Structures are given as C-alpha cells and as structure tokens.
Amino acid sequence: MPQDIGATGLMGVAFEVTPGTYVAPAKYIPILNENLKVNEDTQIRRPIRESADAIGAVAGNENPDGDVNMEALEDCVLYFLHAARATVVKSGATNFTYTYTPSSAALPPNKTLSCTVKRSGQIFGYVGCTVGQFRFTVNNGVLGFGVTIVARNEASQSSPSATWPTTAPFGAGMYSIEIPTATPVTDVDTFEWTCNDNAVPEFRLKSTSRGADFVHFGERELGITLGRDFQTRADYDLFKSVTAQSITLTATKGANNSISLVTPSTIKKTYEVGLSGQGDLLRAAIQYQPLLGSPAAYQIIVKSQEDIT
C-alpha cells in the first residue's frame, strides 16, 4: 500500500485520571520531532533438539519510550513538567505561576500522561507516560525543550481533531543569564540544562497485559553546559578552588510569560580553554554540576495563562 505522502502528523497529551488508562488529547503540542516506540522483549526459544536454528518465540514484556523535542512554549512545557519527578505549586488567578521543585520520591509525584501521536494518518496512543529526562537548550536564539518519555503500555485510540496553540516561542533578545544569581553576564552564547531521573519500567507477573505496572525513578543527574568568552582567569580560578555558584537563566516575553531555570548551588565540573589563532576570541567550554541547595537542587518557574488543575 502506498504511503499517504500528503498526511500531516500531530501530538496531543492529556492527564490520566487513572494511571495507565488512555485519555484523548486535551492539549496539542507543536513538536519538532519524536521517536516514541514500543519495545518488545520477545524471547527467542532455542531448546537443544538437534537444530542450529531458533525454534520459536514467546512474547515478553513490552513498554513504550522515546524522545520528543519541541520549542519551549510556556503553555506546553507545563504538561510534561507535571509528569516529571517534581512537585508543583500553582498561584495566580488569570496569569498563573507554576513553581516546580525536584522530589526524591521513587514514583511520579503528580500525574501521568496519555500521549497520542498521528503519523501519516495512523494513530498511536501511549499510556502511563512519565518524563524520565528533560532538557532546555538555546540554539540560534531559540529556547528548545526536549523530554525522554518512559511509558507503561500502548492503548487503543481514535483519530483526534486538533486545536493548536498560538503561543510564540522564545527567541533572541529575550534572555537573562546570571552567574551567580543577581549578577547578569553577557558573554554566553550556548546553553544546555539537563535533568535525568533515570526512569525504569517495572514489570510484574499478571494476566491482564504485557505492559509495565509502573515506572520508578533512580538517582538524579543534573548538568549545565555553557560556552563563554574567556577574558580573565578569575572565573577559572573559581573552578580550581571548587567554589559553588548559583546560576539563573530566564527567558521572558512579558511579565506573565516566562520560563526561569534556577540552580542555587553549582560547581564547575570541567573548564576547557583551547588555543586560538591571532585575532580569534578566546573561548571557554564549561560544564557545571548542580548540587543540593536551598530550597532544592533546582527550581523551574513558569508563568503562563494556561490553567492546569
């Protein structure tokens, strides 16, 4: 059968009332790409019976996972942060502020997602979706957001009818970087912020399905990578002395539309300064390791008109 070349794709998400039970999309996400897939742990049978070939196969456990990348729209990242390993405090009446603080809970502290993906006219639904890893990046002036989804199973679904958000992305001229916090710097041109909670699907013996029963989290790994102009050794000397600093990046389109990434205590993990030719800028590539600080290792503050209950 020929492919439907003219078909377009979509991704929609919804919070699940019962974890692992499919819910049709409530929010449609303009994504850049995705590679969600179902992992099928098929067991190949090779009993000893005078044959060099595999004899058969037995169905094993299965669960979906994969990456989703998008522009960091303040009304869209909220849904994925709600499914990450963080608690959330919401304030405001029309203009809302969501403050995400990392949790040490082994299981998702908030809600799981149903993710619906349309590919070339075909619909795929994934249930019990949690965010095991997420990352913010700035590339060519645009704030990007990516997540690694770890889900429980695949579910039946119907074709949705999308209503797309009209939120504009964050672009050049909308950033403030403070190192340490309250001290703005203007010599940074690359930025990446990552949080990996090492999510693992857990399977149990049962008669209902082959999907995961739940997803649990492991130890948290945080990282920040910056590219900066190297002007003096002062910052490098702080690296040598293992001095902790706070780092804040805020992307702002207005008083009520912003995303702030706050890490109250970080140390420089690596600090690399390369040779440069005559007339070239001297550059520093720095990796930071966030530590447990006050009130936590990080906080993400999102201001949006999106009302999530």
pLDDT value at 232 more than 90: no
Average pLDDT, the chain: 93
Q: What does pTM read for this prediction?
A: 0.92
CB environment 18-31: b (16+ within 10 A), e (fewer): ebbebbebebbbbb
Tell me what the mean pLDDT of segment 192-211 comes to.
95
pLDDT value at 227 more than 80: yes
% of residues, the chain, pLDDT over 90: 87
Six token digits for residue 45: 């049978």
pLDDT band of residue 16 (cuts 50, 70, 90) is very high
Measured between alpha carbons, how far is 259 from 300 in angstroms, rounded to an integer?
7
Cα separations (Å) of 183 from 40, 180, 193, 249?
A: 50, 6, 19, 11
Measured between alpha carbons, how far is 282 from 294 in angstroms, rounded to an integer?
34
Looking at residue 40, its amino acid is E
pLDDT band of residue 243 (cuts 50, 70, 90) is very high
Check residue 279 and give its pLDDT.
67
Asked if 81 and 302 count as a contact pair (C-beta separation under 8 A), the reply is yes
Check residue 281 and give its pLDDT.
84
